[in-house]
Amino acid sequence: MKRSNEPIFWSLFGAGGLVVAFILPMLIFITGIAVPLGILPREVLEFERIQDFANHWPGKLFIFAVISLTLWHSAHRIFLSLHDLGIHWGRGFFRWLL
């Protein structure tokens, strides 16, 4: 029986769903609502503070994970939605991936 890579890709899809469901709304709330309305101080989003966060490896890992997992999840959702609409690319198109 041939081993499959599908569990790895499905776990990335699930992790992307977790990021989209829990982390993205928090980031939108902080950057789009809380700081502009004065709920949080403006110092939270100062350039130097964000740059310090992005210069350390946990910050780089967090930023990479949020961006890449969100893109993976949304690309897979779009692919499945196109499939539901009758646009079938098949596995030949993504053979290099799977």
Q: Indicate the domain borders of the chain.
A: 6-93
Mean pLDDT, residues 46-72? 95
- 6-93: CATH, from 3.40.1360.10, 1.20.1300.10, 1.10.645.10, 1.10.3720.10: 1.20.1300.10
Mean pLDDT, residues 46-64? 96
SS3 label, residue 70: helix
Give the distance, in angstroms, between the CA of residue 41 and the centroid of all CA atoms in the same chain. Answer: 27
Give the distance, in angstroms, between the CA of residue 25 and the centroid of all CA atoms in the same chain. Answer: 12
Q: What are the C-alpha distances in Å from 25 to residues 68, 95, 96?
A: 16, 34, 33
* pLDDT at position 90: 61
SS3 label, residue 89: coil
Which tokens sit at 85? Answer: 């609409």
The rounded percent of the chain whose pLDDT value lies above 70 is 90
Could you tell me the pLDDT band of residue 68, with boundaries at 50, 70 and 90? very high
Average pLDDT score over the chain: 88
Rounded-to-integer distance, Cα 91 and Cα 11, Å: 19
Mean pLDDT, residues 60-87? 90
